[in-house]
Structure 1
């Protein structure tokens, strides 16, 4: 059970990945994303999650450079976008991301969505990047069980991470069980359901018991479920609050009551039916 913001899970290739990080989806390139990343790093965050399609890799890289924190102390994730999938185009997209970030290597590189008839070729490119030492770990995002099974057939490397929409309304237990069994670390995007759960009476009630807000209750629930979590915020106060989840523990009863909120309800696209 993570006790500190800097605590890490150990991925299936023995690389350490922080349990907690900052997501920068929708953070505007330039000042906004730079301030958010700098704030997070100053507060002790070690993990930053971006993607080519977010359009803010250069700002993330600049903030990392300005932070004065040694590169090896930080864990940086980025992702290949759908229109760049395929073997050669992925290798090219990776170089663009690496240049924008201004980094020699990326800690975790993900396939952003399971683009049909493309993701297996894309994965071969990720395997090459991994073997070349350009990335420390490779994984996927938004993959369902059947996508993972398909990918793992004929692949040399099992994904280290699967980053998916995950929150109390979408707890994806069968997917989580499959990932556990195959030593694929589950990671949550939109852990707060884009703010839709912050007025939930149950989460407010559990929060009052622990002196925490509903967001902190959800993020703690993620961690106790052994799910890496990367809440997005550009507000310094919120970035600090989100990380203030290591000084209390939810009871097994709390955990189950939160699990019971599941409705298999998404705020993002369905990985089996998306058109971008």
Structure 2
């Protein structure tokens, strides 16, 4: 059974809690501070943010104010997708460190293999420049682990072909009915933990009759099924919410395991 204190082990031995709390689309300022504060009080020990979310400072403040030891909270953040340059990557990481004010980050990711406005274009050279900066950051201990986000197979292969330190994580859009099997298999075959942002399908899973039927079988919510499904696939879910009741429910999955038949039902769904 997975709980908020259970962990996966990255290839370098770093332990990462199996469920994270996502802050994508959580408004900077009090909304982020309150949501992260609630998550920490409810037992979450893994918080995911990004420079682009503009809420790193609020995440850092909530963690500092929580009374928890720094080493007891796993913090992930990300380099903006638009930055494809060694020096700018280092400079932006220094900005992130100032925003968070936590001394170090536990996981640092390249947010995407291309700038958001140029999705799908080839930025291999820029990604390799970024990765050299990431390796430097990692070797100085300012990030305990490094990885990538939104990278397809060809993008992962390009980094692996040149890396001194291989990526430890690929964080992708992943949920029931949208499991990116080729990317997931390639990443896992090459030692990368796959993390799922939007594991609830940005809400589209809620109300799906097939998922609801599985949820009814276990007496849980569709959100809880979605999070349990990810963990049973050895994927790390990053649910997000600003509602304390939902924040609590999203991690309350210890009481059930999805059986093989129901997993097959969920595997067969296509919900893109």
Correspondence for 1:125: 133
Paired residue secondary structure (1:27) = coil
Correspondence for 2:6: 7
CA distance, structure 1, for counterparts of residue 110 and residue 188 of structure 2: 19
CA distance, structure 1, for counterparts of residue 81 and residue 156 of structure 2: 17
What whole-Å deviation, never above 9, does each CA across 1:199-247 have from its counterpart, x for those lacking one?
1001111111101011110110000000001111111011001001122
Residue 128 of structure 1 deviates from its aligned partner by 0.3
CA distance, structure 2, for counterparts of residue 246 and residue 76 of structure 1: 23
Paired residue secondary structure (1:29) = coil
Residue 153 of structure 1 deviates from its aligned partner by 0.6
Residue 197 of structure 1 deviates from its aligned partner by 1.1
- 2:155 aligned with 1:142: no
Correspondence for 1:260: 268
* 2:128 and 2:162 in contact (8 A); partners too: no
- In the TM superposition, structure 1's runs of 4+ consecutive aligned residues that sit over 3 Å from their partners are none
Correspondence for 1:36: 35
Residue 169 of structure 1 deviates from its aligned partner by 2.2
Correspondence for 1:21: 20
Correspondence for 1:269: none
Paired residue secondary structure (2:213) = helix
- 2:200 aligned with 1:201: no
Paired residue secondary structure (2:82) = helix
Give TM-score, length-normalised by structure 2.
0.95
What whole-Å deviation, never above 9, does each CA across 1:239-276 have from its counterpart, x for those lacking one?
0010011221000111111011135x2xxxxxxxxxxx
* 1:57 and 1:101 in contact (8 A); partners too: yes
Correspondence for 1:71: 70
Correspondence for 1:228: 236
Unaligned runs of 5+ in 2: 115-122
Unaligned runs of 5+ in 1: 266-276
What whole-Å deviation, never above 9, does each CA across 1:38-68 have from its counterpart, x for those lacking one?
1101111000000000000010011001100
Residue 168 of structure 1 deviates from its aligned partner by 1.4
* 1:5 and 1:246 in contact (8 A); partners too: no
CA distance, structure 1, for counterparts of residue 260 and residue 156 of structure 2: 30
Give TM-score, length-normalised by structure 1.
0.93
- How do 1:84-103 and structure 2 match up within 5 A? 84-103=83-102
* 1:3 and 1:247 in contact (8 A); partners too: no
Correspondence for 1:274: none
- Provide the aligned length of Structure 1 versus Structure 2: 263
Paired residue secondary structure (1:136) = coil
